[in-house]
């Protein structure tokens, strides 16, 4: 597997965060006492439409009354994605009973290899309540654009051996499906849990 320099990953994350924050608008939502970036009013992710492990098309409307936490990644990711999912799984444990009000969602940026079944099995290894979403290249492109998420194929020595560059952030939405908080993908479990509690 190909590993990307921490500096390069940090630049990708910072670029994504900067792009998101430039879109922020003044909303009517309450001011959040958070450690992440307040992205209220951006409506990020509103056009999400991807397929779950059961073959059902999922949009944010399917997660109404829950706090969706969305992360973009892929199953062949050597370090960033499994670390982020492990932190998210630990955050769910810290939330205790409130974890049932949260829906963690990983959207693959590698649908060619990550079928709905593959991504579904992968995320559930971290926590049985996690959901994995895949879909067609067109569905991914539209969904990623809606979140202002970056991804691109990084060629390898042959067509089957490639990796994916992608932005690494947690998008935390409220129970009405509005984007509210952006956290870096390397946020600690405690930080993730604390910011989620602001929306409960």
> What residue numbers does the annotated binding site for Cu cation cover?
77, 81, 166
> Strands (DSSP E) along the chain, which ranges?
37-38, 50-51, 57-58, 67-73, 102-108, 131-133, 151-158, 161-166, 169-173, 179-184
Residue whose C-alpha is closest to residue 88's, from 77, 76, 72: 72
Q: Are 151 and 165 in contact (CB under 8 A)?
A: yes
CB 44: neighbour CB atoms within 10 A?
A: 22
CA 17 to chain centre: 13
Q: Cite the annotated binding site by residue number.
A: 77, 81, 166
Q: Distance between CA 80 and CA 100 in Å, rounded? A: 25
SS3 content of the chain, % helix, strand, coil (to 5): 35, 25, 40
Q: Are strands 102-108 and 131-133 parallel, antiparallel or unpaired?
A: parallel
Q: Tell me whether strands 169-173 and 179-184 are parallel, antiparallel or unpaired.
A: antiparallel
């Amino acid at each position: 597997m190909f590993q990307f320099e921490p500096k390069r990953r940090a630049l990708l994350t910072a670029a994504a965060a900067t792009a998101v924050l430039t879109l922020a608008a003044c909303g009517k939502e309450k001011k959040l006492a958070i450690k992440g970036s307040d992205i209220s009013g951006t409506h990020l992710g509103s056009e999400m439409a991807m397929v779950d492990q059961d073959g059902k098309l999922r949009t944010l409307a399917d997660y109404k009354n829950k706090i969706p936490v969305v992360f973009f990644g892929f199953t062949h990711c050597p370090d960033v994605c499994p670390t982020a999912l492990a932190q998210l799984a630990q955050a769910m444990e810290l939330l205790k009973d409130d974890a049932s009000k949260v829906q963690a969602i990983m959207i693959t940026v590698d649908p060619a290899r990550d079928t709905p079944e593959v991504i579904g099995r992968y995320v559930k290894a971290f926590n049985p309540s996690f959901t994995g979403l895949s879909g067609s290249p067109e569905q991914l492109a539209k969904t990623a654009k809606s979140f202002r998420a970056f991804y691109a194929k990084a060629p390898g020595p042959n067509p089957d051996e490639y990796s994916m560059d992608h932005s690494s952030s947690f998008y935390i939405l409220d129970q009405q499906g509005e984007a509210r908080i952006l956290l870096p993908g390397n946020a600690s479990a405690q930080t993730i849990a604390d910011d989620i509690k602001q929306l409960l």
